[in-house]
Structure formats: structure tokens, C-alpha cells
Amino acid sequence: MMCKNHLKVGVVCYPTYGGSGVVATELGKAMACEGHQVHFISYKRPARLSSFQPNVFYHEVTNFEYPLFDYKPYDTALASKIVDVALHYELDLLHVHYAIPHAIIAFIAKSILLAKKKRLPIITTLHGTDITLVGLDGSFYPVVQFSINQSDKVTTVSESLKQDTIKAFQTTRDIEVIPNFIDLKKFNNKPNHALKKSFVKEEEKVLMHISNFRKVKRIPDIVKVFNLVQQKIPSKLLLIGDGPERTVLEDLCRELHIVDKVIFLGKQESVEDLLRIADLFYLTSDHESFGLSALEAMACGVPVISSNIGGIPEVNKDGFSGFVCKVGDIEQMFFKSLHILTDEATHQQFKKQAIDQAKKFEKSKIVPRYMELYLQCIQNS
């Protein structure tokens, strides 16, 4: 198996707007560029898999309608699809992203395949809330713990998430830290004055946040910081994405009388175009295993004001690519924003350093680490 030049890899991920799906898709596409055959298995075509690429296959998990099912048994359908794809395409391994429910479904599929005399090693990549939030809930905990221990290889996207996993799940598996990565050809600081002019006047700054607007992101903190900043520096806040917190945010903007200065852009495909027009990016979460959006901003030359939680300090270097502040400390975030924005030379220095920091996570440095792991996994199975 080791001397095979090209692997056949199955990838299970969430197709939705979110970091774990982005990492899974970009990794799969990078592997396909190297000539490996990559089979994505999900309930919807992943967001960043819209255009055709050779060696990339997509297998949709369809749900069986039956009046008895109040809850459609997606997990069973997913396991069956994995078994079918693994047998039909002779997969060498399966890489599942986000533990719930993918790791346990992978284990079930692997067991079924073993009964059919087919080996399928499993790599599970833990992305964050599958461990720090959802996985800790009693309704999932024993299954998550078991499925992590049953995976052939386990990776986390930061050292912080590795420590959280060991602490919370007392896992017996070795965990390898492989951080999120960035394509610096796609995410760069090429200016787009025309696009910037469509949002702000010449003298105005653009502050930005991108996420799925979940509570964990603490976006009201960003609005409150912006409210203070805009009283000192002419600026606008661009909020990109959508999710359960949207109405809370709209209400807050009305309450603070800043509706004309906060622009909600909804979900966007090419975030790199928008990031390039930003002067400062915010990621103020109270749980964050890595913070891919912060890395994307830094790669576009945008300094980051972030919280100090989870894996964020491994990405955003305090005083270099931006500032790392205490969760919920609006005043500190406000002062750090002013420090960067009020002096042009300081701003330019931070912009350059943000790119330097992002270079540490260049795709070409990180993707080969997954490849190495794939080969080890196949060799040991």
C-alpha cells in the first residue's frame, strides 16, 4: 500500500458555512491536485466545492422518507454510504472532520467493512465545539469519548484543543496537532479601492467580522467596541455571515443608534475580496479552537483584535499580528483598536506583521503533514 503513488481518500464533513467544512474541502482539493482521488461524503455539496475539479468526487447522503421517522436516521444513511463508497471505489482510508456524529459513524462503517474483509483506517480531526461545547454534553459524551479512542489517528487544530481533549475525555489515543492552513495566493493584500469606496468614504476605516453568528462568537462585543471606535475614528463595521444572533445584533445597533454605520452583508462566497478592504478584523469568541477567519484576515494583511481563548493566541500573536484581549473586555479591545488605527505607520507595521504571521500557516507547509499521517495510518492498519 505504501508504494502506491496515489491514494483513494474518503472525506466526511459538514457542508455548511463553517471552518471545519472549509478545512476538509480545501485539504481534499489540495490532495486531488496532487493526483489523489478524493471522495467527499455529505448531505449537501460542501460550500467550497462548487466548481468541477479532476479527482474530486461527491457522494450525497440521501434521506429516506418514512412516516415512522420523526427524526430521519441520517447517521444510518451516512454509514451505509461510507460502506458503499469504500467498497465500490476501494478507499484506502477515511478522514472524518468534526467528531459528532462522524467519528462514531466511521467506526460503525469500519466494523461493517471488516465483516466484508475490507480494512478502512479512520482519521478523526477534532475542530473545536465537538470537544469544547457539544461533545461535553451528557447526551454525546460517552459516544464521543469511545469514537475518539477507536480512531486510528486523531488530530486537533491547535495545541489548546489537544489539551482540552485530553482533559475532558482522558483519551488513550496520541493526538497530533495540525493547524488550519491558508492559501496565500488566494488570500492576499491586493488592494481593491473601488470595492472599498462602495462601502466607505476616503477617510473612513473598515472594521470587519465574519462568522456563522453563533452565540459563542460574542458578536455584541464587537458592536460595542465599534460603537466606541466610531466616536473617535470615522469608520464602518461590516458584519459578514448569518445565524441565530443576527436579530440580537440588529436590535443592539438600533439601541446604540449606529444602524447607518453597521452593514450586514449576509453569507458571502468570496470572503477574500471583502477581507482585502478591511483595516481591522475582530474575533472575540468565548470558545475558539483555532480561528480560521482570523488567519484569513491576517493573510490579507488585516491585523486582528481577538479574545485570548482556546487556540486563538497560537494564531494571532499579541502585539505583532494584532492584539489578544481578555474575553469580554470591551475597553481593552477599544484601546487596542485605537492603538492600531490612529497612527498610519503603526497600522502599516501591523498589516505587514499580520502577513508574516499568516505565512507560518501556508498551505504548502501544512498539507504535507496530513499526507504523512495518511501514509502512516495506512501502513499501520
Binding site for ligand GMT (CB under 6 A): 18-21, 23, 98, 127-129, 157, 180, 212, 214, 216, 285, 287-292
Q: How far is the CB of 3 from ligand GMT (least distance, A)?
A: 32
| DSSP one-letter string for 52-75 | --TTEEEEE-PPPP-TT-SS--HH
Shortest Cβ 217–ligand GMT spacing (Å): 7
Closest distance of CB 223 from ligand GMT, Å: 18
Nearer to ligand GMT, 91 or 295 (CB): 295
CB closer to ligand GMT out of 129 and 230 = 129
Query: What's the length of the chain?
Result: 381
235 or 307: CB nearest ligand GMT? 307
Q: How far is the CB of 355 from ligand GMT (least distance, A)?
A: 19
Measured from the CB atom, the residue of 98 and 334 that comes closer to ligand GMT is: 98
Query: Shortest Cβ distance from residue 178 to ligand GMT (Å)?
Result: 10
Q: Which is nearer to ligand GMT, 127 or 236 (CB)?
A: 127
d(CA 12, CA 97): 6
Cα separation, 8 vs 100, in Å, equals 23
Closer residue to ligand GMT in complex, CB, 16/376: 16
Tell me the CA distances in angstroms from 196 to 34, 204, 230, 276, 338, one per residue in order.
36, 10, 17, 9, 20
| Smallest separation (angstroms) from ligand GMT to the CB of 157 | 4
Q: Tell me which residue has cell 499580520.
A: 354
Q: Is 93 left (phi over 0), alpha (psi -120 to 50) or beta?
A: beta
Residues 6+ apart with CB under 8 A from 259: 250, 253
CB of 213 to ligand GMT, least distance (A): 9
Nearer Cβ to ligand GMT (334/361): 361
Of 125 and 230, which has the nearer Cβ to ligand GMT?
125
Shortest Cβ distance from residue 293 to ligand GMT (Å)? 7
